[in-house]
Structure 1
Amino acid sequence: MNRDQVAALPVPAISIDSLEFWKSGSDGQLRITRCDDCQLWIYPPKPICRRCRSQAVSYEPVQGRGRIFSYTISRQQFLPGVSDPYAIAVVTLDEDPDLRMTARVVADDLTRLHIGMPVTIEFEERNDMWIPVVAPTGEEDPQ
């Protein structure tokens, strides 16, 4: 996907609860909300823990590494200005097997994607936001 096509992708709606998430990638570090009381990772960002209902929630850095849990490749043009195939993946982050996020995959060859593929988080800057995307690490699967 070229730079013009990336610029044509929609940007997420930002709320007061998610602003720090969308800005935090400016230093290359992914930060996820976490409950200060029960330590539950909370994604997408929310001001209240879904497990213990605590309002003591803060952003913590994560390694930014994980594995593809599921993915889809879109070959149909749904958005004006975006004609190349692109992939969206649900990624399990290394911090917790239940911590999953959805992101666009940045890869030269989308046909090589597979469940369990190791990925790393990268960022694309758009409209003063830092959008997390995932890229294959190139490491071999131990499976």
Structure 2
Amino acid sequence: MPAFRALLALAFTSIVYAAPLGGGISVSVRSNSYSADGTFYAPGLGACGKTNSSNQLIVAVGHAVFDSYPGAALHPQNPNKNPICGKKLKATYGQKSVTVTVEDRCAGCPGAADLDFTEAGFRKLAALGVGRIHGVKWEWVI
């Protein structure tokens, strides 16, 4: 019986920690590493219900990640209650890194794991004039 409980606990842990995305990609609250494009935007009232400014270290995650985050389906009509809101991630581009807080959903991000930074966050990785950076590695900060 203890072996069954351990197996059951492991099964529920997997459900809590990972949710599938289209194309076989899964989002995980564990420290899995992703590779994506990074862009920047001028934030305002975000999908998480907070108003942010360009000088804050905020990020909008791709809509596929935002919508598939574990627990997001519990509140499909109110993205403010998505458990991804307030989560931190560390993004690295080349030798530079930044830790940002998820406060928005990037509807225009074509890649499942793409990130749309505020200007302050993007500047920590590259000059704004670059516009789009490829090969941004990122992971959840637990």
TM-score by length of 2: 0.28
TM-score by length of 1: 0.28
